[in-house]
Structures are given as structure tokens and as C-alpha cells.
Amino acid sequence: MSDVSFDSNKHDQTRQDATRGAESLKTAADGIDTFADAQVESVWGEEAGVDAARRALQESYFTLRDGFNGEQEHVLDFGTKVDETEKSFRQMEEQNANYFSQAAADMSQDPAVAAAAAGSGAGTGAGSSGSAYQTSPSESQDNTDPNAAGSSE
């Protein structure tokens, strides 16, 4: 059976990844914005072709900046969803533990369950002879079905 329990130590190692990643994307977007703002006419000149190239470069920078800002939002959203999933998983684990604890307590109070446990040879109480007859796997195998696994017919 696989272990699906939540390990907060493993999550703690990556807990800040979304926030730090978003901060890095914001830093990149701010840097790109600075490059776009630096493309001024006084440096490029006033000729029509040069001005068109300057504006096209600025638009490219703005498009790139907007892309980084959009990715920042996606990364933060993902981080939020991871945190919400962790919280939900912890709540579910707690609910399951409470449910099974209550079920075990209820079963331990039920006389029929206690009698069944005693009669199954699980204990040494009434119904347990201490020398229960056990069949070997070949004695308990259904040899009447020729398609059964292990059948020699």
C-alpha cells in the first residue's frame, strides 16, 4: 500500500518557490520596463525610420514585460492552489483519523465484534481451541475447474 500522507517537511523545502519565482518575474518585468523607458528620442534621433524602429523596440519590450507580469500572476495563483490543497489534504487526514478512531472505539464496545474476534482464533478466549485445523494451499484449491491457476488437469 502506498503512503499518501502529507509530509510537511518536504513541502517546507519548496514552500517559498512560488513567491520567490513571482518576485523574480516581477524583477525581470521591472528591468524590461526600464529598458523600454530608456529608448528615448533624444538618443535615437528624430528621423522617421529610426523613430519607427525605436517605437517598435519599445512595444516589444512592453509585450515582454506584460508576458512576465502575466507569468507572475500564474505562478502566484499556482502557489495559492498548492497551499489550499495542502490545507484540504490536512483536513481530510484529520477527518479520516477521527472517523477511524471513532469506528475502532465503537467496534471495541460492540459485544458481537468481541465475540467474533474471540471465535476467529484471534485470541485465546472462548471459541479458540488453540489447535485450529489449517488446510494447505493445495487442499483448499478448487481442482474442479480446469481453467483454474495451478490446476494439473
Enter the pTM of the model: 0.56
Contact 94, 68 (CB under 8 A): no
How many secondary structure helices (H) and strands (E) does the chain include?
Answer: 6, 0
Contact 120, 126 (CB under 8 A): no
The Cβ-side half-sphere exposure at 117, using a 13 Å CA radius, reads 9
92 phi and psi angles, rounded to 5 deg = -65, -45
- According to the model, what pLDDT value does residue 103 have? 92
- According to the model, what pLDDT value does residue 113 have? 85
Contact 130, 118 (CB under 8 A): no
In order along its 153 residues, the chain shows pLDDT tens digits of 566 666 666 666 677 888 899 999 999 999 999 999 999 999 999 999 999 999 999 999 999 999 999 999 999 999 999 889 989 999 999 999 999 999 988 888 888 888 888 876 554 444 444 444 445 445 545 555 555 454 444
Q: Given the C-alpha cell 495542502, which residue does it identify? A: 86
- According to the model, what pLDDT value does residue 118 have? 81
Dihedral angle, C-alpha 50, 56, 62, 67, nearest 10 °: -140
Report the alpha-carbon distance of residue 17 to residue 25 in Å, rounded: 12
Other Cβ atoms less than 10 A from the Cβ of 25: the count is 20
